[in-house]
Structure 1
Amino acid sequence: MKHQVPPIATIVPRMAMSLDKVAIALDVSPNSVLKMVEEGLLPRPRVWGRRKLWRVVEIDAALAEWPTDGEQQGDAGEPGRWDAD
Structure 2
Amino acid sequence: MTRAKSTIAARLTIRRGLSEAEAALYVGLGSTKFRFLIAEGLMPEPRIIGGRRLWDVDDLDAAFRSFPLEGSDKLGQQEENPWH
TM-score, scaled to structure 1: 0.70
Q: How many residues align?
A: 75
Q: Does 1:8 align with 2:8?
A: yes
The answer as to whether partners of 1:45 and 1:53 remain within 8 angstroms in 2 is yes
CA shift, 1:41, in A, is 1.3
Q: Which has a greater percent of helix? A: 2
Runs of 5+ unmatched residues, structure 2: 1-6
1:14 and 1:23 mapped to 2: Cα distance?
14
Equivalent position amino acid for 1:8 in 2: I
Specify the alignment match of 2:34 in structure 1. Answer: 33
State the partner residue of 2:4: none
Offset of 1:12 from its aligned partner? 5.8
Q: Would the aligned equivalents of 1:62 and 1:81 in 2 still touch at CA under 8 Å?
A: no
Alignment of 1:1-85 (within 5 A): 8-9=8-9, 10-11=11-12, 13-74=14-75, 82-83=81-82
Q: What is the percent sequence identity of the aligned residues?
A: 28
Give the ranges of 4+ consecutive aligned residues of structure 1 lying more than 4 Å apart after TM superposition: none
CA gap 1:37/1:81 in 2 versus in 1, 3 angstroms = farther
TM-score normalised over the length of structure 2? 0.71
Letter in 1 for 2:82: D
**Would the alpha carbon gap of residues 19 and 52 (structure 1) be closer, same or farther in structure 2, given more than 3 Å must change?**
same
Q: SS state of the match for residue 34, structure 2?
A: helix
Q: Give the Cα separation in 2 of the matches to 1:58 and 1:34.
A: 15
